[in-house]
Amino acid sequence: MTALVHSYQMIAREGSEDALGAALGDLAEAVKGIAGSQGAMVLQDRKEAQKFLFLEFWDGEESRKAAGSQLPKDVMGRIMAVMGGPLQMADWDRLAG
């Protein structure tokens, strides 16, 4: 089975960079405890601080889909409250690393 990486690219509303970073950090902690998760990573653009990349690492598509109902609603609400642009998602096959 190929490991799956699910990515979310997002932009914080102006002045909300710290709040989005903190909420994504809390989400990464929550994802780690879900069955089939291989962890998560939060990245912030060094030149454009409002841009974030959230990566989830999963055993496969089935575990990623099952995780949706287990994500903390309060954290998801905090993320949505500070988003300043469209959310872009993609699925990747993890080949190395």
- pLDDT tens for residues 48-83? 999 999 999 999 888 898 898 899 999 999 999 999
- pLDDT tens for residues 29-47? 999 999 999 999 999 999 9
Torsion-angle region of 11 (φ positive above 0: left; ψ -120 to 50: alpha; else: beta): beta
Rounded-to-integer distance, Cα 59 and Cα 38, Å: 7
- pLDDT tens for residues 4-29? 999 999 999 999 999 999 999 999 99
Domains of the chain: 4-93 (3.30.70.100)
The pTM of the full predicted model, rounded to 2 decimals, is 0.92
> Would you report the helix, strand and coil content of the chain in percent, each value rounded to 5?
35, 35, 30
Phi, psi values for residue 6, rounded to 5°:
-105, 125
